[in-house]
Structure 1
């Protein structure tokens, strides 16, 4: 990483308030002004998490967008930002990189000292579309059932995932991991296949115990799970990769009568999240949270970005304010070319929109894919990973998703709180956080316009002005209240 350059308000020739009157700063005032650090990334990569040494000075009354920050108004605490370590991601990291390449990449992705500090990840329980083959973790001889789970085992692909996540945890001990199944084993399902179908009513107890056995297996591999969902995208039955429809009534029964009581009785400190699907069906998690028996075991709601409006997160949160919110999957891809502004769209929708709508954690989909957007066993053929790993050389390309995550994860630490900041305007959007450990503030700003924009930021009685280049993403950080008047 490059050494950091800083912008100090003390170095500016003047400061301005929102009414346009120049601030009259004494030498003591200038000496006490907080140091503001600035990093930027642009869609054309002229900046790439680049520390910037200077700021535009001028009368703040001429700014395009004014952002007022109130650290006294706090919202949800932040768990972290990251991406899923799918079977594909783990296979590429483990099998297509040299040991030195692998070590460097994991330190860059998960390290807090010199890396971007990813603090949240997701694993699949059995195969997903981003696996090398379709498999589950309890596969008895064909046509047989295994309600006692005698055939449960961790498949080789899952071993790669545990190895990578365990290495990431060694780099960042604060890393939090959740897990989701794409399908129950075929023998538990109507139709007897991992493709399509639903969970048989007489298999609810076996499936709940299957999930608990996975939690034990992960913990034994050095990867404790902090939360799980009972089904990825339960309103969707994929045509060519594992999936399973699981309606609200089924999830209510599974959680309320089987998984919840078993998990509670076991003493495991693992949270259950409902839904794990898109914003376009808020009635689904609402039904589960409205059921007293199931809701007692549900910590919150997991959301995906592929349909509906992100305001659904707030809609459900406002009705159930004690339940947490997570944005657990969103993939970038070739439909968002780098130079057309896909980066600012992702940042605006996920990091800014996700957390403004109560998300404690934000996850993108694949941590890594290869140059062919794979390997994959069905499903998306043009998805993009946070990084692309050349399957022949192990070389790494950092994608839009990398920079979007980095602008949050590097500066917003676990335990931070979102704080009040003015709503977006004129193609400029923002979100602000204060870190719990030192009170420092991180302000993330996007300029989605093809034209420059100027912002004026007010915090703790001080204001600074900054010019944003087109199609750009910025993070500003400065000391907290202790350092500001």
Structure 2
């Protein structure tokens, strides 16, 4: 009798396991703010055709391997996180794959940027120190490096992209951090290449691997109100070809070199550089911003240069767009779905966190006074999760580094992007851009089993199966 009971229990367990494997999990965010990454009840599969819009996912059609999702750890973002009474809690919310949204990639300004908690600086502000004997990341040790180290403790796989807004002032034609160009002098260019090398090595000595660097943030932006540096495509090509690339190679640096790091409205900038093999031998890919141009620009460049990777590295929300639903819809469609479908390996927003005044700022840094972080961290304690937090989470929590984008169809109101994780699971982000609800039926590899869910209007959901 005891043996029979054991067999019965075993059969029940097997059947229960089988039934769970026949279900799909989902997480929902709606434009009315009533559902914020809310886990849905399990959705059971059926062998019928399903209702509504059919989303067919084909694992045999495979595209780029994803590297991660996240935002930038600016000086101001690091400051508000580090100095918050909820420091540990915020780091878990942002970076933990279990307790939070599992951000897997951050972008790090190399010194000064246009959102600063302190006076703008670079790592080599001593004039004409060509050997960079006075190079130092000491100022990053105040709060930037501690935040990264704490993030790495909860998410050891976190990747970091380093980006300079400007070279040290003495290397520039303007002789200041604002505006100007890198001086056309071999000694200066050699010193600036060494600047990148020392940055990567200094962070490595802190236990922080720099996955990639971009050569220059927004090289076509010569704004003299905050730290910037113009760099033509010819100058960027020459710098990579004769200075940065050889320095990285001779020092066995495996940090990737990315070009451009500016808006979708200029495909020729990077394309011209990539057409020069002497330069492109050192280049891994191209980074993009959202502030002008066509969201399909990375796809257009991929079609011209299929051997180079695409990265999406910056877009910011702010007080100019306060409607939660409108922001949810635009960002989901234009960034979190369209960019991976255009072959980008990352989707990164601008600030991870800012305070209630969209800072802190120092006047000498200039820059955006109305940008919004993924978190708003109150200076007296407490924090608010903004729409960007949930948007990042809909991918970062469920699409793991090393996931491969796979094929999925879209329709007029239903936008999708799908991935297969290293463990074999499939994650699909679905957007209903219509104000009305729509039934969607998801089917993988036409295996006869389908999963139907009624998507509310102006909503996004991530489904995992």
Tell me the TM-score normalized by structure 2.
0.91
Q: 1:306 aligns with which of 266, 291, 294?
A: 291
Q: For 1:69 and 1:289, how far apart are their aligned partners in 2?
A: 33
1:425-470 Cα distance to aligned partner (Å, 9 max, x none): 232211011111x211111011122221221222232222211111
Q: Give the deviation of 1:107 after TM superposition.
A: 1.4
Give the 5 Å matches for 1:418-429.
418-422=405-409, 424-429=410-415
1:194–1:420: structure 2 CA closer, same or farther, 3 Å change rule? same
Tell me whether 1:34 sits opposite 2:22 in the alignment.
Answer: yes
Q: How does 1:368-447 map to 2 (within 5 A)?
A: 368-376=353-361, 377-393=365-381, 395-422=382-409, 424-436=410-422, 438-447=423-432
The reply on whether 1:72 has 2:36 as its aligned counterpart is: no
How far did residue 320 of structure 1 move?
1.4
**Other-structure match for 1:194:** 177
Shift of 1:94: 1.4
Structure 1: gaps spanning 5 or more residues: 1-26, 479-485
Shift of 1:226: 1.0
Secondary structure of residue in 1 paired with 2:259 = strand
**What is the distance in 2 between the residues matched to 1:314 and 1:161?**
34
- Across the two proteins, how many residue pairs are aligned to each other? 442
Q: 1:61 to 1:150 in 2, by over 3 A?
A: closer
Structure 2 residue corresponding to 1:247, chosen from 232, 248, 251: 232
How does the TM-score come out when normalised to structure 1? 0.87
8 Å contact from structure 1 (residues 385, 399) kept in 2: yes
Where in structure 2 are the equivalents of 1:130-145 lying within 5 Å? 130-132=115-117, 133-140=119-126, 144-145=127-128
RMSD: 2.0
Question: Aligned equivalents of 2:111 and 2:211: distance in 1?
Answer: 18
Q: 1:157, CA displacement in angstroms?
A: 4.4
Contact 1:455 1:466 in 2 (8 A): yes
Cα distance change on mapping 1:293 and 1:57 into 2, 3 Å: closer
3-state SS of 1:66 partner: strand
Q: Is the 8 A contact 2:31 2:328 kept in 1?
A: yes
Q: Deviations over 1:143-175 (max 9, x none)?
A: x42212122112424542111111111111110
Q: Compute the displacement of 1:322 (Å).
A: 1.4
SS of equivalent to 1:306 = strand
Q: Distance in 1 between matches of 2:22 and 2:298?
A: 35
Q: 1:163 and 1:403, CA in 2 relative to 1: closer, same or farther beyond 3 A? A: same
Residues 124-161 of structure 1: CA deviation (Å, up to 9, x unaligned): 11110111222111112xxx422121221124245421
